[in-house]
Amino acid sequence: MDCRRTRPVVPPTPCNPGAALRAVASSSRNRPLDAGTNFRTLSPPSPQNNSTFAAAVGIGSNHRPISRRRFRNLLTLGPVIIPARFSHLLRITLSPRAARLLAGAVLLVCAVFAAHALFAALRGVRGEYLAFSDFFAQWSFAWFARMNDVARIYNANVLHQFQLTLEPALRQSFPFPYPPTYLLTIWPLSWLSYGPAYLVWDIATLALFLWGVLGAKPRMPMLAFVLLAPVTVITLQQGQNGLLSAALIVGGLRLMGARPVIAGILLGLATFKPQLGVLVPLALIGAGAWRTIAAASITALLLILATGLVFGWAVWPAWFDAASGHGVWLEQSVSNYLKPSIMANLELAGASRWLAHAVQAGVAAVVAVLVVLCFWRGATDLSLAALQVGTFLAMPWFFRYDMPMLANAILFLVRDRERSARNFGLIETGIILAGLLFPVVVTLTSRFFYVSSLSLLLLFGLIVWRRLGPEGRRRHSMIASC
């Protein structure tokens, strides 16, 4: 006969949240619990009353005493008790081996998507989709500037008639909304036929983007990530200028501390797409990067002068007239399914236009304040990531090919976690994967259009929390003390 002492089996008591709260209130306040009780101010039960509370919630009388922190976590949502089995999700982390396996699986998914997208891009290089390619717009702009009065490029009807001479099957409209300085960039494309121009454009802008993100000596894992990132692949497939604008902005921000003048020159060159730099001046002011601001301003001014001398001064009034109505054209003529902004998602969800505009303006204001606060504490990797993700929350109109900066922001976030020598959290990993993969989802189907705004909001919130939250404050205090 086994004489070892065994603990009697106590049948679980059904959970009764109301009884639990009444027991706690009576033991800590000696008064009944009413509707006006502030659950956050309740004291944890005393040791002699732990058995009463334990029996009420069904955890057995032999359960360990409830700490003050655990007690308040149970009452976080007022009258609703959050079971401990859910709260532990916040503390789950991935082991280094699990993180590597997950990263490999994600890169494999991205490689499959890249192979599918770039196969279509190669067919585009051969001219099979000339009438539907976004690069056709870039190529036709260069040809128009070479063969016509440049100021007339802002006349949409005149430009469309010229594009029909290059491709009679063209059915959609490709207006020219950029500042005249952009013509200085794409002018060399007019000396090449469509296929070689497409190939040269993609290779050159990709090389600049890789340099802007990784510098002159990239490491292989980071290089693979940037090359296979869905936002990179989508931009290459469509032959758009997102890689060029991202290279200038990301490169300028990366060099802001070590080479402020060169950083300002790069940011000044990026003014050909001013909407992507909507938060950059605020960030530079917050960081006190006055030399970078001065260099960027001088560069932009020199570009204006050069454009006027090359193409004539009449081109600038023509651009101002066209730019004033381009937003209306985007909102009325371009499907919201192609625009992953908060405003477009709200309109697709059924919100009225004025409500969508109001929410977009409110989000932009909050994002701008948070970005300035991040840079006020220093232009760290997380500050740069907050700026790059926040840009797409603040803009009312943008497209997926405008978002290569998103890959750089995710890279900054991952690198910061690695430097902290802490494992990735489960929820943190899910947010990062959502931010990386949502362009794939909204490209393959329009049913889940809302994942774009949700992913961007969660990713921005994670970055700002890491920068301005308790962990970020500890780092800031350590740097200040040094």
Co-location of 182 and 267 in the same domain:
yes
Whether 177 is covered by a domain: the verdict is yes
Determine the angle formed by the axes of helices 194-214 and 220-228, rounding to 10 degrees.
130
353 and 207 co-located in one domain: no
- Whether 70 and 103 share a structural domain: no
The reported pTM is 0.79
pLDDT in tens, 220-244: 888 999 999 999 999 998 889 999 9
In a domain, 123, yes or no: yes
What pLDDT is attached to residue 120? 75
Mean of pLDDT over the chain: 81
Q: Do 224 and 260 share a domain, yes or no?
A: yes
Same domain flag for 313 and 369? no
Out of 323, 345, 374, pick the residue that ends a domain.
Answer: 323
C-alpha–C-alpha distance, residues 112 and 121, integer Å: 14
Given 290, 323, 356, which residue is the final one in a domain? 323
- From 235, 165, 160, select the one nearest 198 (Cα to Cα): 235
Please count the structural domains in the chain: 3
Structure tokens at 258: 């070590």
User: How far apart are alpha carbons 154 and 168 in whole angstroms?
Assistant: 21
Question: Can you tell me whether residue 77 is helix, strand or coil?
Answer: strand
**Are 299 and 362 part of one and the same domain?**
no
Residue where a domain stops, chosen among 267, 298, 323: 323
Does any domain span residue 328? no
Beta-bridge mates of residue 425: 93
Q: Are 181 and 257 found together in one domain?
A: yes
Q: Is residue 190 part of a domain?
A: yes
User: What is d(CA 209, CA 249) in angstroms, rounded to the nearest whole number?
Assistant: 10
> Closest by alpha carbon to 264, among 249, 282, 247, 242?
249
How far apart (Å, rounded) are the C-alpha atoms in residues 325 and 233?
31
Q: Provide φ and ψ at 351, rounded to 5°.
A: -70, 150
Q: Would residue 332 count as lying in a domain? A: no
Length, in residues, of the chain: 482
Looking at residue 116, what is its pLDDT?
Answer: 85
pLDDT at position 65, please?
47
Tell me: do 114 and 253 sit in the same domain.
yes
**What confidence score (pLDDT) does residue 86 get?**
52
Look at residue 67 in the predicted model and tell me its pLDDT.
52
Domain with 275, as residue range(s), is: 97-323
> Does residue 380 contact residue 283 with C-beta atoms inside 8 Å?
no
Residue 299 sits in the same domain as residue 188: yes
The token duo for 156 is: 């949409």
| Rounded Cα distance, 322 and 312, in Å | 17
- Whether residues 63 and 168 fall in one domain: no
Is residue 481 one of the residues assigned to a domain?
Answer: yes
Q: Are residues 306 and 422 in the same domain?
A: no
The list of the chain residues with pLDDT below 70 reads 1-90, 124-125, 127-132, 471-482
DSSP-based helix, strand, coil % in the chain, nearest 5: 70, 0, 25
Rounded Cα distance between 218 and 223, Å, is: 6
Does any domain span residue 92? no
Does some domain include residue 246? Answer: yes
180 shares its domain with 304: yes
